[in-house]
Amino acid sequence: MSQVLVELVKKHFPEAVLETHAQHGDDTAVIEPGAWKAVHRFLFEAPEARMSMLVDLTAVDFPDRDPRFEVVSHLMSLEKGHRLRLKARVGDPDGDDAEVDSLADIWASANWMERECWDMLGVTFRGHPDLRRILLYPEFVGHPLRKDYPADKIQPLIEYRDVENIDKLAPFGVDEGMSFGRQTHAGVVDPDADEDAQVN
Amino acid sequence: MGEMKAEEVLETGVGEGFVTTRLVPLLSWAQKYSLFMYPFVTACCGMEFMSVSSPRYDFSRFGSEAPRFSPRQADLLWVVGTITQRQAPVLKRIYEQMADPKWVLAFGTCASCGGFYDNYACVAGLDKIIPADVYVPGCPPRPEGVLDALMLLQDKIQRGDNTPGVVKPRRDPATDQSMGLIEIRRSKKTV
């Protein structure tokens, strides 16, 4: 349906469109990161497109690819009812140089979505009016949705209490406080035990 | 059983006009029926909290009715929902602002031990930050579990017991055959 839009973008930016595909009726155009803002401004302003709404703006981390990140934007026209998804591939395998232009002066909603994207994945948006963390706290180091962020790494703002065994405080001992919890000690129902012995 | 007698006399208002008791049990008795609460509600457990505080389950029956949205006037801190790392300083500060004696109730799995939020954003249980008195398991807990927690806390206050306690299910799935847990485990084995 929005194949027309893809053709429109291709016509006006023949150099910038790297590839296109369609899935489940949604068309996607992968564009040069350098043309990120120009294509968006064109789609916002062109009378055939009239993409008045930036539905979502986020990024995806592909740790094995180069460029590593895919910045994704979902556009919709409230007037015409059509949609288009745009992608730009940025960043080297170390996660540096992931930069595209900010869309905040085209759609005001891009402001917070770009802040979230920077907070979670470390994609920098050039020309953003106020690019700082939106969900996490300023003291946080790193970007947690990057695939190389350790899954169990926490950065507490305040020190934990100075008590012994802080990871497993009573009553959350070996049996997690419940007789039917993950049992690791003797004297409880054991699924692998002899069935006759288990009944009583 | 001196305390019991004092309780009867005070509650019914009959008797010989005076009672004898020790000061500490008398204070505990007063404290356990006037748990002014500070609801620190952060997540979906708040819905269950509203349910327990509203007329159908009505925990005001246990003298825990009045919410005080100033920690300085509150006795019982209800921590209802997930605590994020970002909120942890706030929670700690609220706890420190409460006047002694004070108690903390961990409502639901997230507040008790973090639940499945084992990630960069969340604190794995409020006891990493502040000491807790009663833990209520469940995601969210059922209202009767919360009422059990309140009664457990009252019991602890009366006994002067400061050790943390966890609310047990009224029927234990590990031993209650009719709940089917043992059968499930067995059927897994046969597969």
- Residue A155 corresponds to which tokens in the numbers above? 């950065």
ipTM entry: 0.75
CB contact under 8 A, B164 and A169: yes
User: Going by DSSP bridges, is the β-strand pair B134-136/B37-41 parallel, antiparallel, or unpaired?
Assistant: unpaired
β-strands A83-90, A26-31 pairing = parallel
Q: Per the structure block, which two tokens stand in for B44? A: 């979906």
- Cα separation, B109 vs B99, whole angstroms: 26
The residue-averaged pLDDT of B61-72 equals: 86
Q: Where are the domains of chain B?
A: 1-32, 35-170
The token duo for A158 is 């305040």
d(CA B39, CA A61): 39
Average pLDDT of chain A is 83
CATH 3.30.460.80 region(s) of chain A?
Answer: 3-143
Tokens 């794995």 sit on residue = B124
Cβ-Cβ contacts under 8 Å, A154 against chain B: 85, 119-120
pLDDT of B12 reads 65
CATH of domain B35-170: 3.40.50.12280
User: What architecture is domain A3-143?
Assistant: 2-Layer Sandwich (3.30)
Question: For chain A, first and last CA: distance in Å?
Answer: 67
C-alpha radius of gyration, chain A, whole number: 25
Contact B181 A149 (CB under 8 A): no
- Cβ separation of A191 and B164 shorter than 8 Å? no
Which of B179, B51, B38 is CA-nearest to residue B97? B38
| Backbone dihedral angles phi then psi of residue A125, each to the nearest 5 degrees | -115, 110
pTM for the full predicted model: 0.78
Number of continuous H segments (helices) and E segments (strands) in chain A: 4, 7
Residue A35 phi, psi (nearest 5): -95, 10
Which of B91, B96, B127 to substitute to test the interface with A, most A CBs within 10 Å? B127
From chain B, pick out residues whose CB is under 8 angstroms from the CB of A135: 121
- pLDDT at A12 > cutoff 70: yes
- Nearest residue of B to residue A198 by CA position? B182
Nearest-angstrom CA–CA distance, A12 and A46 = 11
Interface contact B56, partner A, CB < 8 A:
no
Residue of chain B whose alpha carbon sits nearest to that of A159: B129
Percent of chain A whose predicted confidence (pLDDT) is above 70: 82
**Is residue B65 scored above 70 in pLDDT?**
yes
CB-based contact B125:B114 (threshold 8 Å) = yes
Backbone dihedral region for residue B36 (phi beyond 0: left; psi -120 to 50: alpha; all else: beta): beta
Q: Write out the residues of chain A at the interface with chain B, using a CB-CB cutoff of 8 A.
A: 135-137, 144, 149, 151-158, 160-161, 166-167, 169-172, 177-180, 188-189, 191-192, 195, 198
Residue-level length of chain B:
191
